[in-house]
Amino acid sequence: MPTLELPDDDARIVALAVRYHLARPGSETDRATLQRRDDGLLSVDAALVPQLGAAVARLDVTSYQLHRIDEGLLGVTNELKAYEMAQRRSAVPRFAETLTALYPSLAPGAASGDDAEAGDDALDLVERVVALRRRLASAVRDAREAMEREREQAAAAAVEARRAQRPWWRFWG
């Protein structure tokens, strides 16, 4: 189980990515069973939000959650670009409110253009999101490999279970 230790700025970016991911319909649904998945990012959000503002936020995440955080970071990258081009509006539910709460300088009414302060542009935040994603790349790669091993083990166990249920005299099947 990977442990992420994130400085406050990175923790805010991860919080934005988690909220972006959770805003998507069906984001916490298991594709195979179509049931709600308990090990999704909802628990990460609950653990992360109280730690915002601290010097370092510590998160214990599963391989699946780390993979989903990475997907959220990709989505946030695209959404921040669209947000800036759409004059600080978003089609994603509650994205603008979350962004404003985490980064008040990016509020729709905040100054933009030549008189904006440094960091007032959502495109500047995109650079930090991409940099964080690059820093997490090796951990995400390890998480994907662990998930693949788990899938292979589950498939092998399913084959063994089917083999064990077959009658003893039917050795050819």
> What's the domain range around 59?
3-148
Q: Is residue 168 part of a domain?
A: no
Q: Is residue 82 part of a domain?
A: yes
How far, in Å, are 32, 97, 164, 173 from residue 160 at the CA level?
20, 50, 6, 13
- What percentage of the chain exceeds 90 in pLDDT? 31
Least confident window among 17-21, 44-48, 118-122, 148-152:
118-122
Residue range 106-139, pLDDT digits in tens: 776 665 544 444 446 788 899 999 999 999 999 8
What tokens does 130 get? 């991409």
Q: Is residue 154 part of a domain?
A: no
Give 162 or 98, the one with higher predicted confidence: 98
Can you tell me the distance from the alpha carbon of 78 to that of 52, in angstroms, rounded to the nearest whole number? 23
Residue 65 has pLDDT above 70, yes or no: yes
Domain count within the chain = 1
What tokens does 44 get? 């990460």
Q: Is residue 137 part of a domain?
A: yes
For the chain, the distance separating the N- and C-terminal CA atoms, rounded to the nearest angstrom, is 39
Can you tell me the distance from the alpha carbon of 163 to that of 158, in angstroms, rounded to the nearest whole number? 9
Q: Are residues 14 and 6 in contact, defined by beta-carbon separation less than 8 angstroms?
A: yes
DSSP run (H or E) holding 16: helix 8-23
Q: What is the pLDDT of residue 79?
A: 92
Q: Is residue 80 part of a domain?
A: yes
Query: Has this prediction a pTM greater than 0.95?
Result: no
Q: Is residue 28 part of a domain?
A: yes
DSSP states along 106-134: GSTTS--STTPPTT-SHHHHHHHHHHHHH
Can you tell me the distance from the alpha carbon of 14 to that of 34, in angstroms, rounded to the nearest whole number? 26
Q: Is residue 157 part of a domain?
A: no
Q: Is residue 163 part of a domain?
A: no
Phi, psi torsion values for 57, nearest 5 degrees: -105, 135
